[in-house]
Amino acid sequence: MEDQWRIATHDPEWKSLFVNVASNLRSSLGNLAIRIDHVGSTSVFGLDAKPIIDIQISVLHYDDILSYKDKIEHVGFVLREENPDKTKRYFREIPGTRTHIHVRQAGSFSEQVTLVFRDYLRVHPADCLRYAQEKHRLMALFKNERPKYVERKGPIVWDIIQKAHLWSQEVGWKPGISDM
């Protein structure tokens, strides 16, 4: 399996990888998943990214983990109980694979900001390029210090979130239809 802790040139195959996994998740979860979306950098055409497919599953009853945990694990993912982010349940495939699952409450801030961030980057190529350049720069500096890479990426992420928020107000942004 390829080294995932690197920034890769955008690969159009990332969309197909999403569709394959998301189809299995949709079959397993049915209507429990209000939305299944390709999120993160691999979901933005042309954006260089770590070669990891991030999938956001939006559910109506986030706290009812028993209603969806086994169905996601049946598709080959494992709940990471140690996740410190209380706005999502985090599932990963077995080590060496390339998909991460983020389950969030439908309509929550964390669900919406993830979608608006993605949608903003899809239509703002200058910020998309600026974000990619910063990720490459930080990876060169912190290749062996993952926490520092993540921490130092914060300012550009928050800058883009602020721009995405203003843009969302200008255009009357609403989440489009679910990707799956």
pLDDT of residue 3: 67
* Cβ–Cβ under 8 Å, residues 145 and 152: no
* Cβ–Cβ under 8 Å, residues 153 and 134: yes
Q: Taking each helix axis from N to C terminus, what angle separates 125-142 and 146-171, rounded to the nearest 10 degrees?
A: 170
Please work out, in degrees rounded to the nearest 5, the angle formed at the alpha carbon of residue 64 by the alpha carbons of 87 and 108.
Answer: 35
Which domains can be identified in the chain, with CATH numbers? 13-171 (3.30.460.10)
Amino acid letter, residue 68: Y
Rounded to 5 degrees, φ, ψ at 41 are -65, -30
Pairing of β 33-39 and β 53-59: antiparallel
76-122 per-position pLDDT tens digit: 999 999 989 999 999 998 766 789 999 999 999 999 999 999 999 99
pLDDT of residue 146: 87
